[in-house]
Structure 1
Amino acid sequence: MTKKIINILSIIGLAASLGYGIYLWKTGVLTSLSSLHTYVAGYGSWSALFFLAFQAIQVVLPILPGGLGCLVGVLAFGALKGFVFNYVGIVAGSLAAFALSRYYGRPLLYRFFSTPLIEKYDRWMEKKGRFARWLAVLIFFPVAPDDYLCFLAGTTTISWRSFTTIIVLGKPFSIALYSLGLTTLFTHLITWN
């Protein structure tokens, strides 16, 4: 039942984001980067706090693709601040996902994720000590199912310290690739004034 609710929330979140994006486009906010920055600055520090919370929550409840959040962060706040806000929010969400699965255990995985996905990554945990190495490698690259891996890690014997170290050191590279790569692609697709 939970998987179905998450899928529905994801569809609603994507539709709401598209709708809000169209609204911002029609009102002129998305016609240039300067218009977008002025709009975001109008909310003061609340815009940064809202964005940090959004990035953290989207790791635990994936309402939107994480890459989209990274793109929004860089476009709305600039390359450096956007990267920092993306990083802090995603790290906070990753730690929260780990904490939830550490508390609730494997039943939480089956409520949120598909059995084939769980079985695929369970094979990595067959040998003791292997999971932490694979986690470190996968978190470093932007193509892995990071959200799931954070939940999965909480059900293993990996320590809080090891998990936090892997997330803190491994996330910057993948977030930078998502943030800057998607921004470059986006700016090539859209002509900014």
Structure 2
Amino acid sequence: MTAAVIALVISSDDLHAWLTGFLPTAEAIVRGQPVLGVVVFILFAALSAMLAFVSSALIVPVGVYVWGKAASMFLLWIGWIFGGLCAYSISRYLGRPTVKALCSRSAFESYENRISNRASFSLVLLFQIAMPSEVPGYLLGLARYHFWKYLVALALAELPYAVATVYLGSSFIERQVYLLAGVGVAVAGLSGWALYVLHRRVITKRT
């Protein structure tokens, strides 16, 4: 979905020029408050990992423009990990009512009885790769899954998505259509494969 929106934007000269016109202003603001800029970027990334309606796509082009791809990948990755840990902690210590208010009910209920605190690390890693980022943290926290195993699975699963998201942001700025298409296909392939294998393992386990 994100790749499709970016493709639509870069196909329009006027819209692309209008949106990228804000980047120098954003850079000046961040350069003026460098520490605050990093903190805001990480916190926004964390929120995007906790709430379905918040998207990192809004801030990644700014990060790429100001700090470059490598630093943006690292900050985005750290933010997503922090957001996942917050989701895990919220559900573990505040319980089900809070989770229902913050998480997609359909996705949560589909896996609530299938992913337990005894789930293998490989299954949790697949779950983390396949699902929207906000779902695993809330579900695994509620299930009281082992904290350190969750943290490692979270970090491993988010890394390729952080790389891909930053390259999507770069392709938006530089209007690189082929890069955009390649990254979009790679992300769709990874998430689709993980979802397929996850479903096969869950179904096999239940039967």
TM-score category, normalised to shorter length: 0.5 to 0.7
- Whether the 8 Å CA contact 2:91–2:98 is kept in 1: the answer is yes
Give the whole-Å Cα distance in 1 for the aligned partners of 2:118 and 2:35.
45
1:117 correspondence with 2:107: yes
- Whether the 8 Å CA contact 2:26–2:62 is kept in 1: the answer is no
| Structure 1 residues 63 and 73, CA gap change in structure 2 (3 angstroms) | farther
What amino acid is the match of 1:85? L
- Whether the 8 Å CA contact 1:100–1:151 is kept in 2: the answer is yes
- Whether the 8 Å CA contact 2:52–2:103 is kept in 1: the answer is no
The SS at the match of 2:135 is helix
1:122-173 deviation digits (Å, cap 9, x = unpaired): 253279425x4333124346xx311121111101141111111111222111
Deviation of residue 43 (structure 1)?
2.0
- Which residue number corresponds to residue 145 of structure 1? 132
- Which residue number corresponds to residue 73 of structure 1? 63
- Which residue number corresponds to residue 43 of structure 2? 53
1:135 correspondence with 2:121: no
TM-score by length of 2: 0.64
- Whether the 8 Å CA contact 2:104–2:135 is kept in 1: the answer is no
- Whether the 8 Å CA contact 2:64–2:169 is kept in 1: the answer is no
What amino acid is the match of 1:165? V
- Which residue number corresponds to residue 156 of structure 1? 143
Give the whole-Å Cα distance in 1 for the aligned partners of 2:85 and 2:132.
15
- Which residue number corresponds to residue 90 of structure 2? 100
Give the whole-Å Cα distance in 1 for the aligned partners of 2:114 and 2:81.
23
1:89 correspondence with 2:79: yes
The SS at the match of 2:175 is helix
What amino acid is the match of 2:64? V
Taking only aligned residues, the RMSD between alpha carbons, in angstroms, comes to 3.0
- Which residue number corresponds to residue 167 of structure 1? 154
Unaligned 5+ residue runs, structure 1? Answer: 1-24
What amino acid is the match of 2:164? L
The SS at the match of 2:112 is helix
- Whether the 8 Å CA contact 2:89–2:141 is kept in 1: the answer is yes
Percent identity reads: 18
Give the whole-Å Cα distance in 1 for the aligned partners of 2:156 and 2:116.
25
Unaligned 5+ residue runs, structure 2? Answer: 1-16, 178-207
TM-score by length of 1: 0.68
Give the whole-Å Cα distance in 2 for the aligned partners of 1:35 and 1:157.
44
- Which residue number corresponds to residue 179 of structure 1? 166
